[in-house]
Amino acid sequence: MASSIKIRKSDEVVDVVPLGDVRLRMFDAAVPWRVFRWYRKQRHFSGSYWSATMGAPVGYESRLEYANLLLADFDPGVDWILSQPFLVEGEDRGRIRRHIPDYLIARADQSVCVVDVKPADMLIMPKVRDSLSWSRRVFEAHGWEYRVQSEPDPVLLSNVQFLAGYRRGFQFVDAEVAAALVELRTPMTFGAAARAVVPITGGDRFARSLVLHLLWRQHLRTDLTRLLSKTSTLEPT
């Protein structure tokens, strides 16, 4: 039995496609395979995150999924993200396996990545390892990258989560963004950068927000494995 993929287009419409025939354009009208539910005393913290990459909400089923979704949204190489993208079904050593990955990601270089998110302490479980191993074989045979992601570096996550508060480009004036990039052409501390763009924004608070937006968009870079502060050195990219 060859592997196949089921792509949900609506509650009533599901496309079933042999994996070998699957192309990224088939997901243009896809919706998440499962409904993201919120209810009292549920075990996992589901939610919806407004993705700057998508310009729309993307769902997650746990805080760990949210953390990895946030980092994907921050990655400038990521062009497109779909959560709960499909159900894959196939035979593995005489048994039928079915699996719903957590994310399907398309990159600017046209590559495709299937992502599963699992806590690190689950990766030692034979049943989990066996299932993930099957998924890897199936997707890599199709030419897609396959990643299993766990808990990210806590400082990196904290910094990116903070920068995400400044991710919405429509909240910033394009002319001010362009002017700030000209002003910040040489390395300087975060504090100095914020002071340098005050004449552009007309206020300290707006200047700081603009610099943080440039960091989110990665027009500026710094070592995000260290806690971001006024003394962090920023460099143009």
Which region among 27-36, 85-94, 100-109, 177-186 has the lowest average model confidence (pLDDT)?
A: 27-36
Does the domain at 4-149 match CATH 2.60.40.10? Answer given as no
**How far is 71 from 218, CA to CA, in rounded Å?**
13
Global pTM reads 0.93
Tell me, letter by letter, the H, E, C secondary structure of 142-191.
CCCEEEEECCCCHHHHHHHHHHHHHCCHHHCCHHHHHHHHHHCCCCEEHH
List Cβ neighbours of 145 (8 Å cut-off, separation of 6 or more).
111, 112, 113, 114, 139
Tens of pLDDT along 58-102? 999 999 999 999 999 999 999 999 999 999 999 988 889 999 999
Tens of pLDDT along 183-195? 999 999 999 999 9
Any idea where the domains of the chain sit in the sequence? 4-149, 154-236
Asked if pLDDT for residue 220 goes beyond 90, the answer is yes
**How far is 69 from 235, CA to CA, in rounded Å?**
25
Average pLDDT (29-34) is 92
Asked if pLDDT for residue 38 goes beyond 80, the answer is no
